[in-house]
Amino acid sequence: MPTEPLLRLEAIDKSFPGVHALDHVDFDLYEGETHVLLGENGAGKSTLVKILSGSLPKDSGRIILRGKQVEITSSYHARLLGIGMVYQELSLIPDLSVVENIFLGRLPRRRVFFIDWPRMYEEAQQVLKKLGLIIDPKVPVRHLGLAERQLVEIAKCLSLNERILLLDEPTSALSEEERQRLFNLVNELRERGISIIYISHRLSEVPIVGQRVTVLRDGKKVATLPVNGVGEDTLIQMMVGRELKEQYPKEKMIPGEPILKVQDLEVKGALHHVDFTLHEGEIVGIYGLLNAGCTTLVRALFGLQKTDSGKIYVDGRRVTISSPEEAIGLGLGYLTRDRAGDGLIHPMPVLPNITLANLKEFSQLGLLQHQKERREGEKRIKELRVLPADLGRCAMYLSGGNQQKVVLAKWLCSGSKILIFDEPTRGIDVGAKSEIFQLFNRLVKEKVGILMISSELPEILAVADRIFVMRRGSFTAEYQRGEATQEKLLKSAS
Partner 1 sequence: MREKRTKVSNIGNNPESTVSAIASPRISLLMGRLVSMGGEASKKSLLKGGPLIALLLLIAYLSFASPHFFTARNLSNVAVQSSINAILAIGQTMVIISGGIDLSVGAVLALSASVAAVAMTYHGQSMVVGMLLALGTGALVGSISGIVIAKTKVPDFVATLGIMTAARGLALIVTGGLPVPSHKALLEVGAGLPSGLIWLGSGDILGVPVPALVIVAVTIMGWHILTNTTLGRAIYAIGGNREAARVSGISIDRTKIMAYTIMGLLAAVAGIVLTGRLNSANALMAGGAELHSIAAVVIGGTTLLGGAGGVVGTLIGAFIMGTLGNGLNLLGVSAFWQQVIMGMLIISVVVFDQWRRRRFAV
> Where on the chain is the footprint of partner 1 (CB under 8 A)?
16-17, 55-60, 302, 304, 323-325, 327-329, 334, 336, 341-349, 351-352, 356-357, 359-360, 363, 366-368, 370, 392, 394, 396-397, 410
In the complex, minimum distance from the CB of residue 204 to partner 1, in angstroms, rounded to a whole number: 31
What beta strand segments (E) does 322-373 contain?
A: 332-335, 363-364, 367-368
Nearer to partner 1, 343 or 427 (CB): 343
| Beta-carbon-side half-sphere exposure of residue 478 (alpha carbons within 13 Å) | 9
Residues 6+ apart with CB under 8 A from 315: 257, 259, 331
Nearer to partner 1, 392 or 482 (CB): 392
Nearer to partner 1, 289 or 450 (CB): 450
Give me the residues paired with residue 136 across strands.
none
In the complex, minimum distance from the CB of residue 110 to partner 1, in angstroms, rounded to a whole number: 33
Q: Rounded CA gap, 346 and 398, in Å?
A: 9
In the complex, minimum distance from the CB of residue 20 to partner 1, in angstroms, rounded to a whole number: 14
Q: Strand, helix or coil at 252? A: coil
In the complex, minimum distance from the CB of residue 60 to partner 1, in angstroms, rounded to a whole number: 8
Q: Rounded CA gap, 229 and 456, in Å?
A: 25
In the complex, minimum distance from the CB of residue 321 to partner 1, in angstroms, rounded to a whole number: 12
Nearer to partner 1, 289 or 297 (CB): 297
Name all contacts of 225-234 with Cβ < 8 Å and 24+ positions apart.
Answer: 227/36, 230/206, 232/203, 232/204
Q: Rounded CA gap, 148 and 429, in Å?
A: 23
Amino acid at 159: S
Q: Rounded CA gap, 137 and 53, in Å?
A: 27
In the complex, minimum distance from the CB of residue 330 to partner 1, in angstroms, rounded to a whole number: 11
Nearer to partner 1, 2 or 17 (CB): 17
Instruction: Tell me whether strands 283-288 and 220-226 are parallel, antiparallel or unpaired.
Output: unpaired
Question: Comparing C-alpha atoms, which of 17, 60, 18, 21 is closest to residue 399?
Answer: 21
In the complex, minimum distance from the CB of residue 340 to partner 1, in angstroms, rounded to a whole number: 8
Nearer to partner 1, 146 or 236 (CB): 146
Nearer to partner 1, 207 or 388 (CB): 388
